[in-house]
Structure 1
């Protein structure tokens, strides 16, 4: 079980990764103290020797240590509960460090750091989007990173720093305006007018930066927005007190003079903004994602590595990549259509689960994933392979093929893990779905390496992970790999009854990966005090295997109810 020593070592790795240079014990001890860890130099050296032995760090002469590639990978997936807490605190730290003066253009800004192999096509697309003003600012820093391959190939890695929307939060704070970052998501644009958010993920309780979740090339259509005015662009959303609206409007006017803004809409007191509800006496503000031009390059098939809110940079060290003339118009009046959050739909489906475990008759919740008819036989065969070889990684052994309205595709319905919540509720056990995640299967035991809270999300996290090719279900057929899994909590007093109920659920053909002890870390995921965690496999693991075989799939998670007796058993 992870302990305080593990957390200290993770923090040491994080310090080495953030500073990206060789550091000595004294510097690391000072940084740890700033983070609340009172470790002396001798204790730091002790921890560093352990990290050296694990291959996570490397000693560089007498200068100190640097993090290795293995260490960077461990940092990304180690102590997932810590990473979930850290993700939002990182944004808070970036906001605090922003010092841009909107009157004279001096000070620091938050930047996204992206990289790609030099290619005129990539630069042309990026410049095209910047020229249309679909970004926070046209000011960037473009620099060479390192030579790749032979000198004859002349391939070089380009680093592009773009201004992040978090800079706006820092600017608001510098004006004495309390600001609460809430969501990252996708905004629909019609005829150059932003209409509403169609997807959202809350900043809190996720190991993945919200906008990072939407960087898969099939999720945005920034280039289409730049060229014809229709499509999806990344954007983020924050709220401020209504009393500060006048000063916020003044700030945005000042920022526009130094070519920093990306403002999509600022609402009135208590007014919904692009479909996002806002409390009375608060103001919603939507800002274009600073990574929008990079998303356009990915849409065009270019390989781009995007890292959000990665660094702080002096604004004076950046320059205009191209002259820009914003094409996005003032957003239209609010429509009655609001963002639909996942749990609102899920709770209604959970309520209607009425499966009788003995007769195996009644409603379950299903995901439906559509494949072209030409690929159907192969897709079903892959599903069968996963069900047969690794049934423990599937919510249930039942499935059903269903027609698609267009006739050219067929859906594969698989049982969704929210069905387990419905069965627990039916047996008077209060359950709360908490996270969708990626569970890494290793010899030393499973552990979560990604977690995204269901609360505050409009999309099932598993859909995000599938769009970003983050699973390796096929590898689990031969041993280790990564699967989709979900985590829910129940009151600790209900554990004995839950164990009995879950045993009956398993006997009926459903899979339960683990039932935790009260307040126990479960596969590295943190459970609230006086609660017990329950981990189940995702209902889309067999579908993930189809995607891993490069068969196109349209995934619709938590789709609807279906009678189990109408489904087939593998």
Structure 2
């Protein structure tokens, strides 16, 4: 799916949610809420294409409405393709990069974000001066009549494109969070694979609760966004020479280059390959977020001529020092970390007893009554999609907080496996409750170190308690061999009657709510255990969200 088609799918979703003709201004505003920085003029251009395809029709001066053909297109909205699209998008950007570093001409990959406070430019400048960026080359311009300022910065993908033009295939692997201690890079603490997500990895981590870039600048210790890629070992020396030349003209951000087959910053490097870690191009933007300033961040959004950029500063002091310890333990992905807990589930569906996996999130004791009331109201408003079970647990070291345990959907995999049925958690997703429901984002459990649902909650992407438009809730996709379907359906039906939130049991080769599983398997869609916790968060109560925390006896759970 191209970027343009993805935007048109989102426009169709917006029109489908309306029961009347809709104008381009409202569509542009809704697209902005979904993370698409598209003005009214661009929306009108996309709408003309949709009209020509028969997906929409103009209703006089009132705007457009979706047609039956458009609804059919939307029902096949292809989010499963979007999981592959992110990686393909970066491959496209790498190919289109034709920057010549000798004469400093040609196209580069850029991130263009919007800030709303001119003072934020000073914060960004401080980050550029610290060397925590790919390049100080930027383009800053005011937009429209409002206090909007577009800031275009160089994306690290440009370096991949330059290497490819020199015959060195650079393969983006992960975006993540890198721990810095006393100015020395230590290890990656979180990762998302480019190949297994519909959400750009660094966009997932662009959150003031996750990064501490300003702390790194001021104290030398904190967390920054970073990317990781692989190149063939034979190209290491040539790459080092190219990186040195790039650094002289103001393109850098390289944290370290490993030796052939040598692990780096807690990441494995296969034999015959070399790992390269680079500062995330959005690092200056994330620093603005840390101060609570409003900003819309776009990642690797477009290609532009390098000549449109100019240095924001000529004074750069490299904050980061060399790596001192390269023997860090390898960082495991979420699915690998979860199997031991999944295997310990011994819940008996007939007796309704035994251990399940729980999420334990914490609120202040003063907020507990309000939190439970919100959970109960959320369940009563939508019992089909919300799991009603919870348990209260003391905080291990804070007398003023209390834990709310909810049932993690991995409990379902554990129960099936305990009954001889292989069940593999495939995706954590954000499910929009349209008719039919559709996943609008998916992250593979085998391609992330952090629970996908925690990401969606931290980025405030849910609408579990919302009254405007379709709700967006947390859900997961499981993959089960078709041979065991009859027995699995029997067990899942019992679980659903108990209240475990089983939304859909698919058939072989069927797209279940727009999610795709492998051939000879069928998909099962289950509710996320953090939906009630997300409801608390949406209502403004401070909650420390945790996922996949511990085993608990089901019989000790209370019901809303």
Alignment of 1:54-133 (within 5 A): 78-117=77-116, 119-133=117-131
Answer yes or no: is the 8 Å Cα contact 1:372–1:409 preserved in 2.
yes
Distance in 2, matches of 1:189 and 1:409, equals: 30
In the alignment, structure 1 residue 535 sits paired with structure 2 residue 518: no
- Aligned in 2, Cα 1:357/1:52: closer, same or farther, shift over 3 Å? closer
What per-residue deviation string (whole Å, max 9, x for no partner) do you get for residues 300-342 of structure 1?
A: 0110000100011111221001122221111222133332321
* 1:46 Cα offset (Å): 8.5
* 1:550 Cα offset (Å): 1.1
In the alignment, structure 1 residue 499 sits paired with structure 2 residue 500: no
* 1:58 Cα offset (Å): 11
Distance in 1, matches of 2:324 and 2:357, equals: 37
Deviates more, 1:446-455 or 1:82-91: 82-91
In the alignment, structure 1 residue 345 sits paired with structure 2 residue 337: yes
- Aligned in 2, Cα 1:45/1:175: closer, same or farther, shift over 3 Å? closer
Alignment of 1:189-228 (within 5 A): 189-228=180-219
* 1:19 Cα offset (Å): 10
* 1:441 Cα offset (Å): 1.0
Equivalent residue number for residue 471 of structure 2: 481
What per-residue deviation string (whole Å, max 9, x for no partner) do you get for residues 65-117 of structure 1?
A: 9x9xxx9xx99x94312322222111100000111222232221100110112
Secondary structure of the structure 2 residue equivalent to 1:92: helix
Match 2:427 to one of 429, 432, 435: 435
Equivalent residue number for residue 252 of structure 1: 243
Equivalent residue number for residue 410 of structure 1: 402
In the alignment, structure 1 residue 275 sits paired with structure 2 residue 266: yes
Distance in 2, matches of 1:11 and 1:409, equals: 43
Equivalent residue number for residue 178 of structure 1: 169
Distance in 2, matches of 1:253 and 1:54, equals: 56
TM-score normalised per structure 1: 0.86
TM-score normalised per structure 2: 0.88
What per-residue deviation string (whole Å, max 9, x for no partner) do you get for residues 245-303 of structure 1?
A: 11111111111011111111111122111111111221111100010000000110110
* 1:398 Cα offset (Å): 3.7
Equivalent residue number for residue 516 of structure 2: 526
In the alignment, structure 1 residue 547 sits paired with structure 2 residue 513: no
- Aligned in 2, Cα 1:267/1:310: closer, same or farther, shift over 3 Å? same
Match 1:287 to one of 275, 278, 283: 278
- Aligned in 2, Cα 1:250/1:98: closer, same or farther, shift over 3 Å? same
Distance in 2, matches of 1:358 and 1:100, equals: 65
Secondary structure of the structure 2 residue equivalent to 1:473: coil
Answer yes or no: is the 8 Å Cα contact 2:124–2:284 preserved in 1.
yes
Answer yes or no: is the 8 Å Cα contact 2:264–2:327 preserved in 1.
no
Answer yes or no: is the 8 Å Cα contact 2:349–2:491 preserved in 1.
no
What per-residue deviation string (whole Å, max 9, x for no partner) do you get for residues 505-538 of structure 1?
A: 2233322000011110111122322221100000
Distance in 1, matches of 2:40 and 2:209, equals: 36
Distance in 2, matches of 1:46 and 1:484, equals: 30
- Aligned in 2, Cα 1:503/1:140: closer, same or farther, shift over 3 Å? same
In the alignment, structure 1 residue 138 sits paired with structure 2 residue 140: no
Distance in 2, matches of 1:555 and 1:522, equals: 28
In the alignment, structure 1 residue 363 sits paired with structure 2 residue 361: no
Match 2:307 to one of 316, 337, 343: 316
Equivalent residue number for residue 551 of structure 2: 561
Answer yes or no: is the 8 Å Cα contact 2:344–2:355 preserved in 1.
yes
Distance in 2, matches of 1:258 and 1:7, equals: 33
Distance in 1, matches of 2:366 and 2:227, equals: 39
Alignment of 1:26-37 (within 5 A): none
Equivalent residue number for residue 36 of structure 1: none
* 1:405 Cα offset (Å): 1.3
* 1:18 Cα offset (Å): 10
Distance in 1, matches of 2:424 and 2:105, equals: 48
Deviates more, 1:491-500 or 1:341-350: 491-500
* 1:541 Cα offset (Å): 0.2
- Aligned in 2, Cα 1:566/1:15: closer, same or farther, shift over 3 Å? closer
Distance in 1, matches of 2:286 and 2:232, equals: 32
Distance in 2, matches of 1:532 and 1:90, equals: 28
Distance in 1, matches of 2:7 and 2:83, equals: 17
Secondary structure of the structure 2 residue equivalent to 1:186: strand
* 1:54 Cα offset (Å): 7.8
Alignment of 1:463-474 (within 5 A): 463-474=454-465
Equivalent residue number for residue 231 of structure 1: 222
* 1:242 Cα offset (Å): 1.3
Match 1:157 to one of 134, 148, 155: 148
